[in-house]
Amino acid sequence: MELNLFLFWTLSPLAGDLVSLKPPQDHENHDDTPDLPAALCVNAASSPGLQVWFRSWMQGGRPTVEVVRLGLVSYQEALRLQQVYVNRHRSDPAHALLLCQHPPVYTTGIRHKPYPAPLLDRLRLLGADVHRTNRGGLITFHGPGQLVCYPILHLGSFKKSVRWYVSELEKTIISVCSRFGIDASTSPHTGVWVGDNKICAVGIHCGRYVTSHGLALNCNTDMSWFGHIVPCGIMGKGVTSLSAELQRDVCVEETVPQLLDAFRDRFHCLLTDGQTDKTERDGGGSSA
């Protein structure tokens, strides 16, 4: 027998905003819920986004974030997949956390005029791709051994503040480092640092409160790739990794559980395992 979920809510007479919630009255454990002046019944079986929202509400109102493990994926493909998940927010809440590694690639942000073509050509001759992006920040490197995390969140479910969001990403990584026994901190420069060395780059894009891009945490990255650029355009600073700080190999696979635990704690959310749809990986979504 098909089980339909029914959501009941009161609508604000001013703007149609969701102002209060109430589950069905025949649920014994909700008999003490106050009556609503008006109610709207929606069959949520036809809306996966509403089902996700309903489950998170029943579990204390914490947003549900789907964890999608992409593995090793090209930067261009990651851009396209981010746009697929951004587009999902047009209908229902669809928070996602895309985790991946990239083949060697240098990316530039929007805080700089275009880099000279000879410089970019020289980077390509090293065997890396080069991409200009719409994230904040300057030039940086992504490659194997670096845990890249792209949160695709609607900040309306968290806090509508980009400054708050970036700060929470940084605090998430500080917590990850702490779990490994590394004393990390923020600085006047964006990102997370161990002394004067950056261990994690942060660069985000936010449109209509939907986030994309994110952070890149050096685990056991080949740090020599950074020697060909001024990372993030910051002179006189260096880069480091979890492995360099601990003097042992710390791989991405070891780091992922720590990142997920820290993200769940900082963003007060529920995490669920997701899987990238084959049609999405094969080109089923719009390009970024």
CB distance 250 to 72 below 8 Å: no
| Phi/psi at 42 (5° precision) | -125, 130
Selection from 167, 203, 204, 205 nearest residue 187 by Cα: 167
Quick one: 280 exposed, middle or buried, by C-beta within 10 A (0-12, 13-18, 19+)?
middle
Using DSSP's 3-state secondary structure scheme, residue 43 falls into strand
Catalytic residue status for 232? yes
Catalytic residue among 149, 177, 232, 269: 232
CA distance 269 to 1: 31
The 8-class DSSP code of residue 154 comes to B
Cβ neighbours of 80 (radius 10 Å): 19
H helical segments located in 89-199:
117-125, 162-179
Selection from 134, 135, 81 nearest residue 286 by Cα: 81
Cβ neighbours of 59 (radius 10 Å): 10
Cβ neighbours for 226, distance < 8 A, ≥ 6 positions apart = 141, 239
Which residues are catalytically annotated?
232
